[in-house]
Amino acid sequence: MRALELLAVLGLTALAAAEILFLNPRWVAVVLSAALAYGFMSSIVAARRLYFLAGASAHSALLAAVLALPLAAFAGLLSEQVWALLVGLVLIYAVGYMIYRGVDPDTATAVFVAATASASVLAIYYVLTRFPLEVELWAIVVGDPLLASHREATLALIIAALTAMGVLLTYREQVYVGIDREFARLSGIRVWAYDLLAFTLLALTAVGLIKVVGFVLEHALLLLPSAIATRLSTSSRGVLVVSVSVSVLTSLIGLYLAVFFNQSPAGVVGLLLLAAYLSVLVLRR
């Protein structure tokens, strides 16, 4: 198993290095950062069974990114990225607190989606009528890593590093909590701390990278890597390795194909992930 993991790391590293020779290094860095962040986060989503909340997190990311535009313009204290992260954390913490207090996760998430979707429409209408930011809103909805600035690339690298570190250091405990929450609490595990970490990482990846992948495809990038991994692996460690590997591989190949055929990188990556999932589904049957 460890030999296969090492081979996967070496192969993906070689692929990334090869792409840097042919493409803009900033494009590769942004796409690779997003792939690592979503690959690691997707394994936590699977371990904690947070599929519904992960799908809903894109709605909070959209609302946070749109609200950050007027907040940064009027307040002027923080950048748009910082405002978006702050608003996104508050939104995710709100639904996380509802779940922690005993509200059914599906019910809490359904209420959360309804509230954020309605608020997003109002926020988008307000921004479009008061600010000349149609292009920036388009980037939030569709996503385009090729337009990422050096600052956004640096932010993506930081988010990827924090997500990878948080997952690797707590993955075993997150799996325990996901399997049997009450037993984990009785065993002395501070479940609330791991809940807080999971919700924080989910907000960071969803909000911090929304301009890279876009609102539309965040659902696929958060859910499909682990969905593929759970059908290919029989261990929690294997799910983590396969989830990250699939996310990175499809993202790097998708970036190259998108540039070659002059298409949207986010859209090509999403199609590759979908094709990979359908292929695994057919083969496993």
In a domain, residue 285? The reply is no
What confidence score (pLDDT) does residue 37 get?
94
Residue 147's identity, in one-letter code, is: L
In a domain, residue 247? The reply is yes
How many domains does the chain contain in total? 1
In a domain, residue 18? The reply is yes
C-alpha dist (Å) from residue 135 to 127, 131, 245, 277: 12, 11, 33, 32
pTM metric for this prediction: 0.90
Task: Return the closest-CA partner of residue 143 out of 221, 243, 246.
Answer: 221
Neighbours of 168 (CB within 10 A): 11
In a domain, residue 111? The reply is yes
The parent domain of residue 16 ranges over 2-280
In a domain, residue 228? The reply is yes
CATH classification at residue 265: 1.10.3470.10
What confidence score (pLDDT) does residue 134 get?
54
Instruction: Rank 61-65, 120-124, 130-134, 200-204 by mean pLDDT and report only the highest.
Output: 200-204
In a domain, residue 239? The reply is yes
Is the pLDDT at 99 greater than 60, yes or no?
yes
Report the share of the chain in percent with pLDDT over 90.
Answer: 22
Give yes or no for a contact between 189 and 215, defined as CB atoms under 8 angstroms apart: no
Higher local confidence (pLDDT), 256 or 127: 256
What confidence score (pLDDT) does residue 152 get?
83
Cα distance between residue 234 and residue 147, in whole Å: 39
Higher local confidence (pLDDT), 104 or 268: 268
Report the share of the chain in percent with pLDDT over 70.
Answer: 93
